[in-house]
A and B are shown apart, each in its own frame.
Chain A
Amino acid sequence: VVFVIQVGYEAGGREQAKHGEGIRQRCRRGTVTGSLQPHAGRIAEHPDAVRRQPRRCHDIAQEAFLKCWRHREEVLRVENLRAWIYRIALNTARDNRRNRWYQRRRPLEDACDYAAADPPQPCQTEQQEFLVHLRRAIAELRKDEREVFLLRQNADLTYEEIAQLRGVPVGTVKTQMRSALAKLRQALQQFAPQPAHDCQSLKRDLLE
């Protein structure tokens, strides 16, 4: 996916910030401002990404990053930059879901996205099929479970940070995560490929 977005907390310096803390420290020193680039991929992996809707995901990610850019002056005052970025992304995704115009055209758009995102593969290995099942299992999680799972898995946020982001108690977040893992474990056990059937094994069998 090639995706250019109008975002970047960048003013000078060749050095790219490695993470949010680095950005803020450099901002405070006034020497280098850094970039939001290190967070870009993670924004793209926000909870809607897994629903096989790359176009929608990109729209949301682009909008979220534009908001980050518009509020870039706040970065200096933000305590937890990563959580700040994710809050913007989540709010943007929620706003997007509430958009009536989007709701009207979603069925057709989703169908198009599904087709575009998942073209027939000439040679699907068992592992690839397994991942398809697993992605479907993630997509079929309840919305709160999926959001918590992906924020933990992709964003590597702590449960405390996720609770703060979502405005719910930590216990609730952990319960949602446990529920998500219980469902995903079922999918793992149901569809996990057998080691003897992986590609390398098949190649070895053929060569022998």
Chain B
Amino acid sequence: MKNCTEYQQLLLEHLYGLLEEDQRRELEAHLADCPACQSAQERAYQEQRWLAQAACWSFEDVRFEGPTSVRTGTAANRGG
């Protein structure tokens, strides 16, 4: 049986699906009854959002388009 600090150190790994099945069950059982760890879980969610934001910065507007020649060619094929 772990204490709250130990459980809280597992929260981010839990959110990223890294815990083994028995670890996951034990953590979730503890979370159900522990307001302090529930609060820590909310922080872990926020941390995950920050990591997501940091990991994909500045490329939100990237767009790829097919080559003109290919689009023209396929349009011709459809027409033919």
Contact = CB atoms under 8 A, between A and B. Distances in A.
Interface of A: 1-8, 10-12, 35-37, 40-41, 43-45, 49-50, 54, 57-58, 61, 65, 69, 117, 130-131, 134-135, 137-138, 149-150, 152-154, 159, 174, 177-178, 181, 184-185, 188, 192
Contact of B64 (A40, A45, A138, A152): A40
A5 B64 CA distance: 5
B77 interface: yes
A59 B59 CA distance: 14
A1 B18 contact: no
Contacts of A41: 59-60, 62
Interface of B: 12-13, 16-18, 47, 50-67, 70-71, 74, 77-78
B74 A44 contact: no
14 contacts: A1-B62, A2-B63, A7-B65, A8-B64, A8-B71, A10-B71, A35-B66, A49-B56, A50-B55, A131-B57, A153-B51, A153-B56, A174-B18, A188-B47
B54 A40 contact: no
Contacts of B67: 6-8, 69
Contacts of B61: 1-2
Contacts of A37: 63-65
Given A178-B13, A185-B12, A65 B64 contact: yes
Given A11-B74, A131-B53, A154-B56, A185 B47 contact: yes
Nearest to B66: A8
Contacts of A61: 62
Contacts of B12: 181, 185
A45 B63 contact: no
A134 B57 CA distance: 11
Contact of B18 (A54, A135, A150, A178): A178
Contact of B56 (A35, A45, A174): A45
A53 to B, nearest CB: 11
A193 to B, nearest CB: 9
Given A49-B59, A153-B51, A178-B18, A7 B13 contact: no
B15 to A, nearest CB: 9
B29 to A, nearest CB: 22
B51 to A, nearest CB: 6
B63 A135 contact: no
Given A10-B71, A154-B55, A131 B50 contact: yes
